[in-house]
Chain A
Amino acid sequence: MRMLINVAESVVADALRGMAAAHPELAVDVENRVIVRRDAPVAGKVALVSGGGSGHEPLHGGFVGPGMLSAACPGEVYTSPVPDQMVRAAAAVDSGAGVLFVIKNYTGDVLNFDMAAELAEDEGVQVAKVLVNDDVAVSDSLYTAGRRGTGATLFVEKLAGAAAEEGMPLERVEAVARRVNDNARSFGVALSACSTPAKGSPTFDLPAGELELGIGIHGEPGRERRPMMTSGEIADFAVHAVLEDLDPRSPVLVLVNGMGATPLLELYGFNAEVHRVLRERGVAVARTLVGNYVTSLDMAGASVSLCQIDEELLRLWDAPVHTAALRWGR
């Protein structure tokens, strides 16, 4: 095993201690695994709480702060957090205006957040939920657990977070979150498997010279394996997969997201190809974000997320945000 860790059991707690040391503007409860913006609860403001397995950093803790999440609950590596964490987070950030849970569509996340919503409501917190399910690699059929929630989670958290910051009531913040999810789609590729600290070796075997198409963010293989392709060929495949499902009639937000082990040199090159394909398809780009935002430990690869926007969503995207991983406008 080549990992910069002490022992597998303490990786999440160790990371939280480091996060606390780096970001005094966050209140990090290492023992209970809750990250809260220090000025919460903000009077009159709807609070946003998200969470999920660790290993996707900066998602979600890196997105806690003014303009985005009020609190995040990191679970164990690739394991959803437990309801106690979400209830604690909701109680810490609720100003009385209610809490929106942003939930990625994975069985564990959904079950734990559903239980937490019930418990929080028992304690008098008004809770709304939005499910992010943007991954076009999974067909949305009766026989599967539905599409996965992946890169578009960033769009939902940023845009709904800005709506809450503007003072919109819970129903409107929830409506913005749903509109964003309905208009966002993603597709991911892996050039290598990742290694979880618990296992210490790659979660699946991906020989050199091959790639996985249609991966999620939990180290699971994709739907299909093919011989290695160029950055341009991958961009063609990924963008077409997204556009097959989303036919944008207005400009889009673009997220070219690294899975953790792919350097920016490659991600920017890939972004150039993504823009080329979008241009060829006549899709206008409003804003672009390139970097490691919704990662999968040390996996090499990238995902493309597109979100069709209107004037209101563009205003919310450009609104100030001040978090550990996303920061602009103030």
Chain B
Amino acid sequence: MLDADFFHRWLAAAAAAVDREADRLTELDSPIGDADHGSNLRRGFTAVVATPEKEAPDTPGAVLTLAGRQLISTVGGASGPLYGTLLRRTGKALGEAPEVSEAEFAEALRAGVDAVAALGGAALGDKTMLDSLVPGVDALPTSYAAAREAARRGALATIPLQARKGRASYLGERSVGHQDPGATSSALLFEALAEAAGEAPGE
């Protein structure tokens, strides 16, 4: 069973990963976006982990719902509402239970990913964060390590795609050949999840 501490560990690991990879995310965002993905997400996740311990929520659902609200209030751009919605809707789907099963979490995260797709109007293959979120959540029932690998492969698979949503879509064919920064940061969430679950680091 997963308790609130597990989700605090996940968010802390995600914040550390975003901080570590921020420059690379911004670098990926410069040929096809506007060169700020890393710095924006870093600002948001810094706010998420800065919640004082005494105010930290104590159910899995509340931890994620609050984190989502904080991302919406601090990130800006498209990433703020999209990542905020992902966590908020996952948290809402978890309800008020003090502990949730891994299957319940996988199902809730699926609801979060569906909400992201609905908000952005994007689908798999549009060269967006969904290209790693969808394979990641598909593999989650197998293991955290499998989800991490699936999301990572999903991010790499965006390289040959032409963007059909988001700012990169304005480049048309010129978006081909670049790895999507949103899919790359989404893969970090699964990496952090595996870390929170105590999986050995991947390659």
Is A220 a contact partner of B167 (Cβ separation < 8 A)?
yes
In the complex, which range does the number of interface residues on chain A fall in?
Answer: 35 or more
Output the residue of A8, A108, A112, A204 with the most chain B CB within 10 A: A108
CB distance from A34 to the nearest CB of B (A): 14
Known: A75-B76, A82-B73. A145 touches B169 (CB 8 A): yes
Q: Is the CB of A196 within 8 A of B171?
A: no
A220 touches B171 (CB 8 A): yes
**Chain A residues near B72 (CB, 8 Å)?**
82-83, 115
11 contacts across the A-B interface (CB closer than 8 A): A78-B77, A108-B78, A143-B169, A145-B167, A196-B34, A198-B38, A199-B26, A199-B27, A216-B170, A218-B167, A220-B170
Chain B residues whose C-beta falls within 8 Å of the C-beta of A53 in the assembled complex:
34, 76-77
Which residues of B in the span 147-197 have a Cβ within 8 Å of any Cβ on A?
164-172, 174
CB of B161, distance to nearest CB on chain A (Å): 12
Q: Which of B35, B75, B174 is within 8 Å of A223, CB to CB?
A: B174
Query: In terms of DSSP, what is the predominant structure of the interface of chain B?
Result: helix
Interface residue? A231 (CB, 8 A) = no
**Out of B73, B119, B170, which one reaches A138, CB within 8 Å?**
B170
Give Cα A106 to B77, complex, Å.
9
Q: Which of A78, A82, A111, A143 is close to B34, meaning CB atoms less than 8 Å apart? A: A78
Interface residues on B, range: 35 or more
- Interchain CB contact under 8 A, A80 and B30: no
B-contact bits for A35-67, CB 8 A (1 contact / 0 none): 000000000000000000100000000000000
A-binding segment of B6-14, B55-63, B79-87, B101-109: B79-87
Structural contact, B36 and A76, CB atoms closer than 8 A = yes
Nearest CB in chain B to that of A106: its residue: B167
Given contacts A76-B40, A78-B35, contact A115 B81 (CB under 8 A): yes
The 7 closest A-B pairs by CB, nearest first: A108-B77, A111-B81, A108-B78, A78-B34, A107-B78, A79-B77, A79-B76
Q: How far is A80 from B72 in the complex, measured between Cα atoms in Å?
A: 11
User: In the complex, what residues of B have CB within 8 A of residue A198's CB?
Assistant: 26, 35-36, 38-39
Tell me, yes or no, whether B136 is within 8 Å of chain A by CB: no
Q: Which residue of B lies closest to A217 (CB)?
A: B34
The verdict on B74 contacting chain A, using a C-beta distance below 8 Å, is yes
Complex CA–CA separation, A271 to B70 (angstroms):
46
Q: In this assembly, does A98 line the interface, its C-beta being within 8 Å of a C-beta of chain B?
A: no
